Amino acid sequence: AQKITQTQPGMFVQEKEAVTLDCTYDTSDPSYGLFWYKQPSSGEMIFLIYQGSYDQQNATEGRYSLNFQKARKSANLVISASQLGDSAMYFCAMRGSNNAGNMLTFGGGTRLMVKP
Amino acid sequence: DGGITQSPKYLFRKEGQNVTLSCEQNLNHDAMYWYRQDPGQGLRLIYYSQIVNDFQKGDIAEGYSVSREKKESFPLTVTSAQKNPTAFYLCASSSRGSAYNSPLHFGNGTRLTVT
């Protein structure tokens, strides 16, 4: 079984500052992928960034980067230079190589609010 | 443009009625998924299909049914047996099926309210 934990129900950040959203995971799969999604108030789920368990470098996509610490089983999302449009729910998720269907398992989410 | 279309965006039904949510994709993806989201919570998997004419139960399949007669379409029926059907439903697809490094791409969701 795999599990994703996001311990921050809500976060505030000042516009133009950086923010880190925490994510820890648990899995027995030897290979797995970690994903972050953004969900604005309109409801759609937007894929942001991916990190593979064997990737040597932390993933980056524009203002998003993933602080991957495999030994600690953490995959924190860092958003640099926050913008008002970053206000949304953020979900950490993972897929393992051995679970049936390799389904995507989600954490409970963190609501980020960017202050002007 | 390629994408996943869910319709309708809002759906209202009386208790005891079955209702079918539509999901169509033109991305040529083999794998499709249905998730349920309750307020303030993450997503939970209802059903998934990795290939036409085949589908598997997810974590919360009771009270739901699906079909996969065409690659492009994966409709979800919420039956009267589902005890608490009011929720936000999201359909997704994946280009490399069950590959663990393949992200899911989501539709815009259907908000179902049953009274």
Asked if A47 lies within 8 A of B101 by C-beta distance, the reply is no
CB-based contacts of A22, cutoff 8 Å, min separation 6? A6, A7, A8, A74, A76, A110
For residue A40, give the chain B residue with the closest CA: B108
Counting DSSP H helices and E strands in chain B, the numbers are 0, 11
Asked if A104 lies within 8 A of B104 by C-beta distance, the reply is yes
Work out the percent of chain A whose per-residue pLDDT is above 90.
84
Q: Does A100 touch chain B (CB under 8 A)?
A: yes
Work out the average pLDDT over A48-59. 94
Which of A42, A46, A101 has the CB atom closest to B48's CB atom?
Answer: A101
Is it the case that residue A77 has pLDDT exceeding 70?
A: yes
Structure tokens at B49: 């299909």
Average pLDDT, whole number, for chain A? 93
From CA B32, how far away is CA B34, in angstroms rounded?
7
- Inter-residue contact A24 to A8 (CB < 8 Å): no
User: Which tens digits make up the pLDDT trace of B6-65?
Assistant: 999 999 999 999 999 999 999 999 999 999 999 888 899 999 998 999 999 999 999 999
